[in-house]
């Protein structure tokens, strides 16, 4: 019995992120090696022309085919990488090419599923493929995605998100997690585990695992906000109310709320809870502390409060989180 071809098309364009391009073929080729029967996967790199494409790392890549040629064929999976530019202040911004956006829109119509890698979500959004969907991208460009495409429900926390036939992945190395998830969908968890072992990566970081922590958020625009964030982390186990923070910053509670909304896009209470969840996550991953002790040292006071915060922010209980991510 012949194997049905699963054509996987990776979109190529100048200044594309190198790992976004190299990661998917590696995962699918390893699966071919690990399974006793052929998978049918065939990965091709498609670009506007057959000319070499220079990646962001300066590596030149040769396309296998053109967008025009591949547009005549049925596609199993369309993989859309991303590209960024960095300004003189070291600020990162996702960039899209209108011609590539047009081709992605056209190719997506022939694909069983579409997956973006890192800031490739910005290309999907520009093509209208994320409207009304929940999506993620690299944390550094999430606010840009939400601002430029308000019809997209942007969630910067998970390492990947599936919304029906469209998958979006977070920053760079999360391409492996996303591709392993696609493998698991097609051939099961056991097959994905075999590939993960060859890649020497954890299988599999569930989509609910956070891609970054509150301490890694972009630097705020004022020293006052920096001081408030540091004050919160230094006093995470103590009393941290809006009134306390306002007093520390020598502002009114109303002004404090405006500062948090303008500079971090959230409320003081939500930020404090996120910081406490972050510290609790770290202790769940790296210690054998009881939930009671973790709740106390992270400012939650009770395990019920800790559990509610985890369910609200991560959609998982502290015990479930420890079982998944405990480092031994």
Catalytic residues: 118
Pairing of the two strands 53-54 and 75-80: unpaired
What single string gives the DSSP state of each residue in 155-173? --SBSEEEETTEEEE-STT
Give start and end residues of each alpha helix (H) in 114-217.
Answer: 120-126, 142-148, 174-187, 189-199
Q: Which helix (H) or strand (E) holds 242?
A: helix 242-249
Cα distance between residue 96 and residue 238, in whole Å? 45
Cα distance between residue 69 and residue 97, in whole Å? 19
Q: Is the dihedral of CA 18, 20, 24, 30 positive or negative?
A: positive
Cα distance between residue 146 and residue 54, in whole Å? 29
Give the count of alpha carbons within 13 A of 137, CB side only: 28
Q: Which two tokens stand for residue 287?
A: 């210690």
Cα distance between residue 146 and residue 284, in whole Å? 31
């Amino acid at each position: 019995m012949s194997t049905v071809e699963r054509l996987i098309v990776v979109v190529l364009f100048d200044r594309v992120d190198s790992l976004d391009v190299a990661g998917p073929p590696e995962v699918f080729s390893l699966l071919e090696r690990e399974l006793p029967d052929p998978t049918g996967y065939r990965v091709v790199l498609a670009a506007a022309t057959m000319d070499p494409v220079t990646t962001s790392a300066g590596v030149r890549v040769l396309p296998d085919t053109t967008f025009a040629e591949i547009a005549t064929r049925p596609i199993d999976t369309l993989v859309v990488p991303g590209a960024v530019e960095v300004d003189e202040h070291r600020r990162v911004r996702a960039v899209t090419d209108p011609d590539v956006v047009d081709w992605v829109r056209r190719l997506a119509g022939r694909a069983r599923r579409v997956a973006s890698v890192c800031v490739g979500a910005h290309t999907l959004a520009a093509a209208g493929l994320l409207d009304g969907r929940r999506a993620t991208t690299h944390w550094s460009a999430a606010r840009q995605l939400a601002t430029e495409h308000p019809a997209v429900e942007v969630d910067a926390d998970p390492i990947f998100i599936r919304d029906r036939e469209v998958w979006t992945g977070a920053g760079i190395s999360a391409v492996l997690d996303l591709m392993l998830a696609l493998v698991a969908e097609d051939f099961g968890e056991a097959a994905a585990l075999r590939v993960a072992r060859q890649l020497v990566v954890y299988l599999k970081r569930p989509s609910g695992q956070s891609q970054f922590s509150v301490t890694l958020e972009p630097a705020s625009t004022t020293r006052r906000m920096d001081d408030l964030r540091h004050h919160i982390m230094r006093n995470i186990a103590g009393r941290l109310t809006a009134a306390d923070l306002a007093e520390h910053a020598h502002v009114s509670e109303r002004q404090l709320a405006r500062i948090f909304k303008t500079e971090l896009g959230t409320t003081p209470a939500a930020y404090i809870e996120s910081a406490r969840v972050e510290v609790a996550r770290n202790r769940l991953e790296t210690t054998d502390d009881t939930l009671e002790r973790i709740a106390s040292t992270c400012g939650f006071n009770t395990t019920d409060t800790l559990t509610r915060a985890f369910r609200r922010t991560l959609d998982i209980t502290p015990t479930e989180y420890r079982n998944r991510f405990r480092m031994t």
